[in-house]
Structure 1
Amino acid sequence: MTGRGLIQSVIESAGPVALIGGGEVPGAVAERVLAMAGPVVGADGGGEWLLRRGRMPDAVIGDMDSLAPRWARRMPPERLHRIAEQESTDFEKCLTRIDAPLVLGVGFLGARADHMLAAFSVLARFPDRPCLLAGAEDVVFHAPPRLQLTLGRGDRFSLYPMRRVSGRSTGLEWPIDGLAFAPDARIGTSNRVSGPVDLHFDGPGMLVILPAAALADAAAALLGSAAKWPALAE
């Protein structure tokens, strides 16, 4: 079980799970993610991307309005999980049904701003489910209570709050200590790395946006983070 209501897990894994979405999927980034993960899940139309490249998904989850029948027929029926309700996005349907220490998502960032904002909203509402979204230019994830990273000096390091949150930092050119962040007030984009990064947050709600080259380092940091956020109250 997923721990939220009566939603049943579809995929359970002791290691990272790759999740391919139906949006823009940069091939080189997707191949890196697939190499870092064990099981692979298609979010609705993301299943077609995998099948076209000869990769059989361990599961395809969604409302199935984007996976063409001719591709669906190529999969064992037990790997297709149609969730008919329209109250959640395909990304949310997948994230809440994957039980893993980290989900690595591709196909959720890119040209469609509305889809990207919807994905950010899901990250903020499920801080207990570590998930990193990777695109051609950026990686985005919800910050754990403590985040430690070693990146290149001068690397871009952006923070974007999805609710009111504060914290403290070392290793950033402009420290965040004593600052109150909120989406309609102070944000923390376009900061820069000045040394080993160590961030602490007083609550959930902060998204971290890094250059795409930080994919492996960010994934390792999330997997190595000892403290996790609990599920938010319904």
Structure 2
Amino acid sequence: MIVHENEPITLIGGAEITTQTLNRARALAPNVVAADGGADAALVNDLIPQAVIGDFDSLSDWARGQLPEDSLHPIPEQDSTDFDKCLRNIAAPLVIGIGFSGARLDHQLAAYNSLVRHPHRRCILLGREELVFLAPPELRLDLPEGCEMSLFPMGAVEGLSDGLKYPISGLNFAPDGRVGTSNHVTGPVSLSMTAPKMLVILPEAALEVAAAALLAARAGWPGA
């Protein structure tokens, strides 16, 4: 394990980020780690990441020159993305990933794939308009009535819900079958899932609620 922290971590990727997004993430997760070229964004914002992890194909020479040598952790294999390399090498109660959405759809989809491949790592991917995370076995979210909430399966999964306009009980979800997009909150939301396959998609304004809910979720998927 390259990084081991008892507090949440902000993980910065190579896609464009805003100062506002960075500040919101760091308010919840002050420790900073960068995925490859995300180190450039960290330095531009006057932050020195405690670790930089990736294959280093996008880390600039300028950034490399600003970083302590012992903070650089190259992983040269090309069978996984920089986000995946980071997620499997960070042990923390929660990772808030920024700079992993909005630039390229293929990179974004690969990041979602990593969330499912490492279900024991609790991680929120925060974009400009939405946030995405993998649902733990049980989750409670105190969201305002009318808040949009989508559930998207990355594999076969079933679940139970309270507080949603369209309950999910009795439904068989699959990426090539039933999905749960465009649902709405009617009250405090409770979810339980049969497998680590369901992505939860919320407006970016729900970051603080989502982070608190994931940190409070008692049960984790095997491997935690």
Shorter-chain TM-score: what band? over 0.9
The one-letter amino acid paired with 1:150 is: D
CA distance in 2, matches of 1:157, 1:208: 7
Tell me how far 1:231 sits from its aligned partner: 3.6
Partner of 1:121: 113
Tell me how far 1:37 sits from its aligned partner: 1.1
CA distance in 1, matches of 2:88, 2:80: 10
Match of 1:72 among 53, 64, 69: 64
Tell me how far 1:24 sits from its aligned partner: 2.5
Partner of 1:101: 93
Matched, 1:201 2:193: yes
Match of 2:210 among 208, 211, 218: 218
- Deviation readout 1:65-98 (Å, 9 max, x if unpaired): 1111121011110001111000010000000110
Partner of 2:75: 83
Partner of 1:182: 174
CA distance in 2, matches of 1:26, 1:127: 28
Tell me how far 1:203 sits from its aligned partner: 1.3
Match of 2:13 among 14, 21, 31: 21
Matched, 1:158 2:150: yes
Partner of 1:10: 2
Tell me how far 1:31 sits from its aligned partner: 1.2
Compute the RMSD of aligned alpha carbons. Answer: 1.0
Tell me how far 1:38 sits from its aligned partner: 3.1
1:26, 1:135 within 8 Å by CA — same for their partners in 2? no
Q: Which 10-residue stretch deviates more, 20-29 or 169-178?
A: 20-29
Structure 2 unpaired stretches of 5+: none
Matched, 1:55 2:47: yes
Partner of 1:4: none
1:109, 1:135 within 8 Å by CA — same for their partners in 2? yes
Q: Which consecutive segments of 4 or more residues in structure 1 shift more than 4 A? A: none
Tell me how far 1:212 sits from its aligned partner: 0.3
Tell me how far 1:204 sits from its aligned partner: 1.1
Tell me how far 1:27 sits from its aligned partner: 2.5
CA distance in 1, matches of 2:144, 2:64: 44
1:39, 1:58 within 8 Å by CA — same for their partners in 2? yes
CA distance in 2, matches of 1:24, 1:113: 14
**What is the count of residue pairs matched by the alignment?**
224
Tell me how far 1:185 sits from its aligned partner: 0.3
- Secondary structure, aligned partner of 1:73: helix
Partner of 1:6: none
Match of 1:31 among 23, 31, 34: 23
In the superposition, the TM-score normalised over structure 2's length comes to 0.98
CA distance in 2, matches of 1:27, 1:124: 28
Structure 1 unpaired stretches of 5+: 1-8
- Deviation readout 1:126-159 (Å, 9 max, x if unpaired): 1111000001100100000001001111110000
